Amino acid sequence: MSFTLAIVGRPNVGKSTLFNRLVGKRLALVDDQPGVTRDLREGAARLADLKFTVIDTAGLEEATDESLQGRMRRLTERAVEMADACLFMIDARAGVLPADEVFADILRRKSARVILAANKSEGRAAEAGLIEAYSLGLGDPIALSAEHGEGLADLIEVLRPIA
């Protein structure tokens, strides 16, 4: 059986970098609802022997009349509804910011199945942020480096029971 994983989190944490790494060139657009193709990108992901659908909440980066906070809520809630599990990404170099807490609250309220990932974890600059990630109360964070392809073995391990 296959599953759908939504990558959520504030802008600039590395969601699209991970999405691109998982999907490569197998990119498909979500559906024909107005605005959806711009805001949510869907692709066929492959990670070792796992095959699944991945959703990138891309619309947060665009400037519109809607506030960032409003878009964060709307897109995250929709992604949660489409997905079997959410990969909630923070930036380990930046640590836990107030915007990250907003996502954590949405995910808790929606009772989403959450995989917490601390990205940009390569190097010492990420150590404090990785420890801070525990304070979100969403379980043990996975240390990832989407850019360098590190931590993917740990990601496979947490995804395998969902598959």
Asked whether the beta carbons of 82 and 55 are under 8 A apart, the reply is yes
Which residue is closest to ligand GDP by CB?
14
Residues 53-92 contacting Mg ion, CB under 5 A:
58
Residue 17 interacts with Mg ion (CB under 5 A)? no
Q: What separation in angstroms does the CA of 41 have from each of 9, 45, 149?
A: 14, 12, 21
Q: Which string of x and - marks every residue 108-137 that binds ligand GDP (by CB under 6 A)?
A: -----------xx-x---------------
Q: Does residue 41 interact with ligand GDP by CB under 6 A?
A: no
Residue 130 neighbours by CB under 8 Å, 6+ apart: 92, 118, 121, 141, 143
Residues 163/2, Cβ–Cβ less than 8 Å? yes
Residue 147 is a binding residue for ligand GDP (CB under 6 A): yes
**CA dist., res. 163 & res. 79, Å (int):** 18
Cβ-based nearer residue to Mg ion, 7 or 47:
7
Question: Contacting ligand GDP (CB under 6 A), which of 146, 152, 155, 159?
Answer: 146
The one of Mg ion, ligand GDP, none whose footprint includes residue 147, by CB under 5 to 8 A per kind, is ligand GDP
| Residue indicated by tokens 């309220």 | 109
Q: Which DSSP state fits 33?
A: S
Per the annotation, where are the binding residues? Answer: 9-16, 56-60, 119-122
Which residues of the shown chain bind Mg ion in the complex (CB under 5 A)? Answer: 15-16, 58
